[in-house]
Amino acid sequence: MKLLTFTVPCFNSAAYMEKCIESLLPGGEDVEILIVDDGSTDDTAAIADRYEKQYPTIVKAIHKENGGHGSAVNAGIEYASGLYFKVVDSDDWVKQEAYEQILSILKELTGGEKTLDMLISNFVYEKIGENRHKVMHYRHILPRDEMFTWGDIHHFYKGHYILMHSVIFRTKLLRECGLKLPEHTFYVDNLYVFEPLPYVKNMYYLDVNFYRYYIGRADQSVNEEIMIGRIDQQIKVNKIMIDYMAENSNSFAANRKLDQYMLSYLDIITTVSSILLIKSGTEENLEKKKELWDYLKKKDWILYRRLRFGLLGQCMNLPGKGGRKISVEGYKICRRFFNFN
């Protein structure tokens, strides 16, 4: 069995996927690299096959019909042979020195008295046109250099969340929790770092800048204009998160800090949905915003109250054009402060 499986979802990634793969190869025989070709029409498939042929004990090329990012991650989870599992998007890469430390700590913790469920490390925004790169770390939130549980964490403040770029899960945990990301849907990374959390008991934070998150391409799914164009998919993911929180609240309500974290994450996702709908400026999308909040209210009245009457919920629901203008200006301030894309 391999120590760590990397899944690299690829769709028409020929122009940049090699940089990603080359950054993962130094893991050698400790790692497995699954290159998931999600129905590409460029040279992605040929590049994947070439790496598999060159590194047959490390790289596996998986070819499938197009199903979207979530479908590619699902395939990775299905085929993974590693004890641990990480997703690396094909336009991102990892840093060598931090990579060595990641593998070292996974080896050290494997077979210990406690089973490690989730390893967390830092990621770095590699933003086009900026010389200074923003590091997203967890130094004041999570204990360092020790195994810990939800009860040991400090408060996650706004702008700090456990994202796909920062986590390595135990592979068996992802299978046990029944994670199945929806196909042909963007923004499913939010589900990937949300639904497994109630199953996570033991965590470890390694304070190294491991993952490099490339951001700023005009065609990226997190580009604001593209997000507004795909707002129905953002709403779809938002509603799945609402459903999950409402239907499973009893399973983690007794764990106060886990409950607070998941509520906070749902809060920011609902805020993003709301502000994008407001910024689009159309009556149709303003109606979709109302429908989203009505959906939450109907699904779980208590959850609705916790979000609607929190700071962000109130800011997103200010009445009239003036209120919406204040909401947008507040979003712009947060965007500059937290370096949102």
Nearest to 247 by CA among 198, 180, 306: 198
The answer to which of 53-57, 302-306, 337-341 has the lowest mean pLDDT is 337-341
Do residues 122 and 102 make contact, with C-beta atoms less than 8 angstroms apart? no
| pLDDT at residue 222 tops 90 | no
The angle, 0 to 180 degrees and rounded to 10, between the axes of the packed helices 17-24 and 44-54 is 20
State the average pLDDT over residues 189-199: 97
Does 337 or 22 have the greater pLDDT score? 22
| pLDDT at residue 340 tops 60 | no
Regarding beta strands 147-148 and 203-215, do their DSSP bridges make them parallel or antiparallel, or are they unpaired? antiparallel
Could you tell me the residue ranges of all domains in the chain?
Answer: 2-215, 224-338
The answer to which of 117-121, 166-170, 202-206, 322-326 has the lowest mean pLDDT is 322-326
State the average pLDDT over residues 118-127: 92
Task: Report residue 122's pLDDT band, with 50, 70 and 90 as the boundaries.
Answer: very high
Averaged pLDDT score across all residues of the chain? 92
The rounded distance, in Å, linking the Cα atoms of 166 and 205 is 10
Does 271 or 339 have the greater pLDDT score? 271
Regarding beta strands 93-94 and 203-215, do their DSSP bridges make them parallel or antiparallel, or are they unpaired? antiparallel
Tokens of 235: 């709403």
Name the CATH superfamily for 2-215. Answer: Spore Coat Polysaccharide Biosynthesis Protein SpsA; Chain A (3.90.550.10)
Read off the pTM.
Answer: 0.93
| pLDDT at residue 312 tops 90 | no
Over the stretch 144-173, which tens digit does the pLDDT of each residue have? 999 999 999 999 987 789 999 999 999 999
pLDDT for 216 equals 65
Does 322 or 43 have the greater pLDDT score? 43
Over the stretch 35-93, which tens digit does the pLDDT of each residue have? 999 999 999 999 999 999 999 999 999 999 999 999 999 999 999 999 999 999 999 99
Q: What does R_g of the chain's alpha carbons equal in angstroms?
A: 20
pLDDT for 151 equals 95
**Rounded to whole angstroms, what are the CA distances from 207 to 26, 124, 137, 152, 240?**
20, 12, 7, 16, 32
| pLDDT at residue 119 tops 70 | yes
Percent of the chain with pLDDT over 90: 77
pLDDT for 7 equals 98
